[in-house]
């Protein structure tokens, strides 16, 4: 439960695949979904050239960052908003190369390296549509509203009758009757109703094809704002899409951790956590906090642990100058604790560990693992369970 950590969590990027908006639009366009014509510019000159090629009365300039809420915040150049309807493409001078801060970025914001230059359309009515995986329905669900342009959460709170849902049988796929009904609920009539239903079906087919967990379009029928979330477990069969992953906005340590299949999130405490299993990692952070300490990170080793991975994890943890103690918490069912123990001892000796180390190991080959640690000659503090480990780790920091 991350709520227990309160303000101690830092804003960092999640490791799940996220695509920049222009890439999501390209995927949609390549699969028959209508999107506005656009170009992507890395420089001001490219933005000016893109505007000429569009030959439109007005254009839309959109900062390409992964965070939401772009339109409502400020660049460090002084320009307000990351989305602009304008006739002057030179506005890109105040966007490219500057940081844009939103409610989803660190306080200093994120540097904008690209802008989307798109043709502007007059929209008489904005509608919202999303296709997402819903655990309560055990499959995909269409969610739509005839009231777009605002956060759908606000619509759900103030006008819940304007939120429409269609549960889809993942084996049967979307039925024409469902697509037609949603199109009608979104306010489309006559020929537009059939066109909307066709576009909706194409979106659903894209959703399945690319292994997405969410596809969001606002406004629906001509896509101005696109968002696609992906299932990381589908990476092995979606290699072309995952190759588009933009890691430039991630913390460098997070990218380094991903190279070794480690899931890492930086926090602002001083007790480093080395854990196997995401749920146990969160519980470890919580129990450190409840015992008066502050976790320095979330780190999940995953299942197939090797000694080299353990070594790299320690390398990452000890690189943080704020770390004053390390807590190892392994409850290994499929993980061989002896592998963890060998990795720990190798890392401690080679990295010349200078901070206290508290270790709680339980599971497969535990006797061998304890023997390795006991014979290592290292000043390791053993713990019998998670509560004991957290108290001992907090105590070692409190002594300093």
Among candidate residues 119, 139, 165, the one where a domain is terminated: 119
**Chosen domain end from 53, 84, 119:** 119
Region 297-321: mean pLDDT is 85
Q: Which of 243, 261, 289 marks a domain boundary?
A: 243
What residue numbers does the annotated binding site cover?
36, 69-71, 121, 218, 225
**Region 315-331: what's the mean pLDDT?**
92
Q: Which of 216, 249, 254, 324 is catalytic?
A: 216
pLDDT band at 222 (very low <50, low <70, confident <90, very high): low
The mean pLDDT value for 35-39 works out to 92
My answer on whether 300 and 341 are in the same domain is yes
CB 141 within 8 A of CB 134: yes
pLDDT tens digits, 65-120: 988 778 777 899 999 999 999 999 999 999 999 999 988 888 888 999 999 999 98
41 and 156 together in one domain:
no
pLDDT of residue 372: 94
Q: Is 216 known to be catalytic?
A: yes
Give me the domain span that covers residue 43.
37-119
Residues 63, 93: one domain?
A: yes
Give the model confidence (pLDDT) of 238-265 as tens digits.
Answer: 888 888 777 777 677 777 777 777 888 8
Sequence ranges of the binding site for GTP: 36, 69-71, 121
What's the confidence (pLDDT) of residue 224?
59
**Residue 194 and residue 111 in one domain:** no
Query: Is residue 170 included in any domain, yes or no?
Result: yes
- Same domain for 204 and 260, yes or no, is no
| Binding-site annotation: residue ranges for Mg(2+) | 218, 225
pLDDT at 334 over 80: no
In a domain, 6, yes or no: no
Identify the pLDDT of residue 71: 75
- Global pTM reads 0.66
Q: Which of 98, 128, 204, 260 is catalytic?
A: 128
260 in the same domain as 234: no
- In the residue annotation, 128 being an active-site residue is answered as yes
């Amino acid at each position: 439960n991350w709520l227990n950590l309160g303000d101690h969590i830092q804003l960092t990027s999640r490791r799940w695949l996220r695509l920049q908006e222009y890439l999501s639009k390209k995927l949609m366009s390549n699969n028959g979904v209508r999107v506005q014509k656009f170009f992507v510019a890395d420089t001001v000159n490219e933005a000016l050239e893109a505007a000429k090629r569009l030959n439109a009365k007005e254009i839309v300039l959109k900062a390409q960052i992964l965070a939401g809420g772009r339109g409502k915040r400020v660049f460090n150049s002084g320009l307000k908003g990351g989305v602009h309807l304008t006739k002057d493409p030179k506005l890109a001078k105040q966007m490219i190369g500057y940081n844009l801060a939103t409610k989803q970025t660190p306080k200093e914001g994120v540097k904008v390296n690209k802008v989307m230059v798109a043709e502007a359309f007059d929209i008489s009515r904005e509608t919202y549509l999303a296709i997402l995986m819903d655990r309560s329905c055990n499959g995909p669900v269409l969610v739509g509203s005839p009231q777009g342009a605002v956060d759908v959460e606000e619509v759900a709170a103030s006008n819940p009758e304007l939120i429409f849902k269609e549960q889809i049988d993942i084996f049967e796929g979307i039925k024409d009757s469902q697509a037609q009904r949603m199109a009608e609920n979104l306010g489309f009539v006559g020929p537009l109703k059939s066109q909307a239903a066709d576009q909706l079906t194409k979106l659903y087919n894209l959703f399945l094809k690319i292994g997405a967990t969410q596809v969001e379009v606002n406004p629906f029928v001509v896509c101005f704002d696109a968002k696609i979330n992906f299932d990381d477990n589908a990476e092995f069969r979606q290699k072309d899409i995952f190759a588009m992953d933009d890691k430039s906005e991630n913390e460098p340590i997070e990218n380094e951790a991903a190279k070794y299949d480690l899931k890492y999130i930086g926090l602002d405490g001083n007790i480093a956590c080395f854990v196997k299993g995401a749920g146990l990692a969160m519980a470890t952070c919580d129990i450190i906090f409840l015992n008066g300490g502050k976790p320095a990170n979330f780190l999940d080793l995953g299942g197939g642990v090797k000694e080299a991975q353990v070594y790299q994890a320690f390398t990452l943890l000890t690189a943080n100058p704020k770390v004053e103690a390390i807590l190892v918490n392994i409850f290994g069912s499929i993980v061989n604790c002896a592998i963890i123990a060998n990795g720990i001892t190798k890392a401690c000796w080679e990295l010349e560990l200078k901070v206290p180390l508290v270790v709680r190991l339980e599971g497969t080959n535990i006797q061998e693992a304890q023997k390795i640690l006991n014979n290592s000659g290292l000043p390791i503090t053993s713990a019998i369970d998670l509560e004991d480990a957290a108290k001992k780790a907090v105590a070692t920091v409190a002594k300093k």
